[in-house]
Structure 1
Amino acid sequence: MYILFCLLLEALLTNSLIKEFQAIQNYLLIEIFSDDWLNMKIEVAENQVIMSEIAQDSTQYLQLYYKLKIGQQYKLDIFTLPDSNVTINEVPFRTCPNNCSNYGDCQNLECRCQIMTAGERCQFQVVQLYNKTQYSESLKSHQTIIIAAFYLQAQLLDDQDQTRNLQIQSSSSIDSKIYLLQPFEYPSQKLIQEKLIYDGQLLSIPVELDYSSKFEKYHIKASYYSFILVLKNTNSQTQDMVLKYQLLDNDQKFQDFILVAILSVISFIILLIIIYIVRRRCQYLQSTQIKENQEDQSENIVIQLMPIVNPVKDQDCVICLDPLDNRLCRQTPCKHVMHDNCLKQWIQKQLTCPMCRETLNDLEYVPRTFKSRNQTSNTFILSHQGQPIVQSDRNSVRSMIITRNRSSRLAVFQ
């Protein structure tokens, strides 16, 4: 509903001029005046409709020419704002736009502008900046301004006669074209592609411009070069722009390069240190896990070498304090009987008898290899692809125990 209302209001506020005529002159001249210029649409009909959208920058006057054929019938529709004044005339020849702005002269159908003006009608007054690094301006919608930043030749060159790059940025997004003009060249005549050094948007991120390919050394060292900035606000709203620019020292650029290189080397060294620490930590955890596995296997063999006995009635396990009846029990070398599960859990914590504190892996029938858990050939805890216990070594232990005479085996448990 709001869109329909706006369209209706625009239709009511828009003037439409319709003219049908037979051409008697060579040109059709349309002159438009407006205090606040906005877009305008013109339709010219000669067998077919020709449409053109017009938008001028910072101007209050415009002339449009259409080439005519004498004797041809034309129909002309013009849509303008109510504040705009429009005149339509047929003229025998085309002249310069009336009233070239800023004292421009009409020569050969073109406006010849003064030194610090520019544009087709000389409508732009060039802003001149000397020895400044910042400029502020409020740009209306679709407004264009031209700025000239002047530098002496000695300022553009360093001690080695190398050009110093120009760094420039803007507080808001602005379309820009930047030109480099030699001494005694002016924007009214020399804004051509050969002088262009940058074409794009200026943002808050600084842009570094290398203009060395466009620079030509002049024989007068006190002469001024000019960076011409053509800035345009393409947004539909007014923007407050703060422009910052400066010449960079080549020494500073080299120092920045050295700083970046040093920081890169330091970062690489820190990365290597982190990798080394992580690797050492992984190796430590892996070795710790292997040792724990070896200890577990050692404890399992110790418990397996203790015989299974019938539980004694009316006696309790010294570990869990539950009766020994009806549960699997084992006898330690010091002839104490305990539950099998309780004894396994006890051995995981320490290899001493819970009753008499006798060392369980230091008796005669237990091989001495259990005392050293890191031996290789004589130990029973070997690792092969995650399978620790070597069966042949276990059998050798058993055979060694079996081959003992009966009296020695019984003496162990007396």
Structure 2
Amino acid sequence: MYLLILFVICNAFHHKGSLQTNTTLNLALNFTDQAPSIIIKFFLPIARQNQQIVGCFVSFENLTLYTFELDQLQLKVNSNIDYDVHSIQSNSDTQLVQYPYYSMIYLLCQSDQNIIIDYELTYLEDYLNPFCINNCKGYNDTRNGNSSYCLNNYCECSLDKLGEFCQLDSSYLINSNWVRVNLDSYQWKYFYYQIRNTNIELQSNLDQSDQNISKNSFINKVYSLTLRQHPWISIPNRKFSYFLTNCSSLSDTLQDLISEETTETILYIGLYNNNSIQVKFNLSVVTTSSDDDDEVQRNKLILIIVGSVVGVLLLLSFFLSIFNNQRMNQNAQHEENIEQNLEIQQIAFKSPSGIRQFYQGFTKQFIKDYFDPINVQEVMKSYPGLSQFEDCVICLETLKNGISLEMKLCSVTPCFHIFHFQCLSSWLQKQRNCPFCRNEFNRIQIQNIYPWVELNKEKRKSESEQESQYLQRLKHNQNTDLSQDIQLNDSQQDFVHGKNRPTVEG
């Protein structure tokens, strides 16, 4: 018992030896019921190099009188004689048989020549599951990296494995991608391919003029096809094979393999070298229908368009967020500047004794009615002389190049000084004077002279409302630096000289 555990832990074989082909070898086993099953591996690399096919068999019956048709072997069903049918068909270098424990078993390897075959025998602590040989791990120990597994009493092989217990390797073929193939004598190699349509070809660069290859070798390279199976019943084999040419169409064969009930899309391709010497060539699977290529191109175009649209939208949202943040920051800064300047202006107006004078301003409705907002460009178009006022003296921001809508609206005082409407409105709510020249405003005077700015071409003309030289110069963009006393009319002179100013009681 301890010896069995030691061999299981160390993954070691218990017994090895050799046998002569076409001669039955009887083995006496001595672990009784402590080993429910055994595995026997046959190693054929030397034998297979000169043989088209070799088959090894295991039974508790004497095999001396048996002769097998190796080309006609099928999967065994409830047979006392066990063998590795897919390894035999694939002419593999290794064959593996898992068999129940018997005190005496018989081994036989059949071949056309008498040669020596090496074998290894390992005792197992698991009972035999005839549907999951070696736990579906191929020729390797169950703890090795094969990702295949036993599922519902059959082997679920990974894509790169095929065979009854996933013992054969295969390589992935990419559409229109060339691979180098080296086939030893009487050797099979397997590939798998994702089917998208049945209009495909096997293309190769086989050369009939190669001096190292016999005249008939060109037709002795064959291929065989099968779809993926669960479990594997048949693999690509010589019985269902076709001659390999430089351009072999697979369409007809695929049509025979694919039925209406079949949903499998993995195709396995087997290549066989039926020669006694090695051959080398390049191989590729090519889709002959343009539908697949067109679909690929359409998918690429769709991805490019979708990616471009998403990229543009992300870019626009990024710039819009930056613009909105800048606008919010500018508005906040603008309001902060207004408040700071108003506070500065109020502090500047202190009485000689140091007591601040507080002035009662106009109501919002009064300011809206008589200091109504006007577009800066329209005002400067009607009064070009006002263009000399480039900045609002309240917020110190530009008048001419305002960014936001609030900064594009202005208001003109009766003394013809221009400010942002929002700035002037905040100012006049606290005190009744011009932020620029400090002329005080009287509600009655403002009502009497309103409107003092006319943007229409046709203005009211009356004897009591004559345009002053100052307004004429503003309209004609002339110098307005002369003495203000000679430019203002009588009503505006009142603001300059302090007439009718409201008195502030301390």
Normalised by the shorter chain, which TM-score bucket? 0.3 to 0.5
What TM-score results when the alignment is normalised by the length of structure 2?
0.32
What TM-score results when the alignment is normalised by the length of structure 1?
0.38
**Greater fraction of residues in strand:** 1
